[in-house]
């Protein structure tokens, strides 16, 4: 219980703390993550499975899905390849 409460505490830009989930980096990263999640769910795969097949850490994959990560082009191509779609569909 202590860790779950601690995980919900996030730092905001002014160094203050706020309760809740962090906001996506931008609208573009939110949309990218949403498209990845939709395709992953259609394939009935877990985040762990997709991350493993893409050769990346599951926590980093989760950040990308939540719009908190900003993947480079190579990572985006690897994810799209595992999902069986063209990278252009994601962006």
- Describe the crossing of helices 73-83 and 58-65 by its angle, rounded to 10 degrees: 90
pLDDT in tens, 1-53: 444 444 554 555 555 555 666 777 789 999 999 999 999 999 999 999 999 99
Q: Answer whether 64's CB lies under 8 Å from 33's CB.
A: yes
pLDDT in tens, 50-80: 999 999 999 999 999 999 999 999 999 999 9
The Cα–Cα gap between 36 and 24 comes to 14
């Amino acid at each position: 219980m202590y860790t779950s409460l601690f995980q919900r505490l996030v730092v905001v830009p002014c160094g203050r703390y706020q309760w809740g989930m962090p906001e996506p980096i931008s609208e573009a990263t939110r949309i990218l993550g949403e498209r990845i999640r939709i395709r992953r769910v259609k394939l009935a795969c877990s985040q762990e499975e997709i991350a493993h097949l893409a050769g990346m850490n599951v926590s980093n994959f989760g950040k990308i899905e939540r719009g908190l990560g900003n993947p480079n082009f190579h990572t985006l191509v690897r994810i799209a390849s595992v999902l069986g779609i063209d990278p252009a569909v994601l962006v």
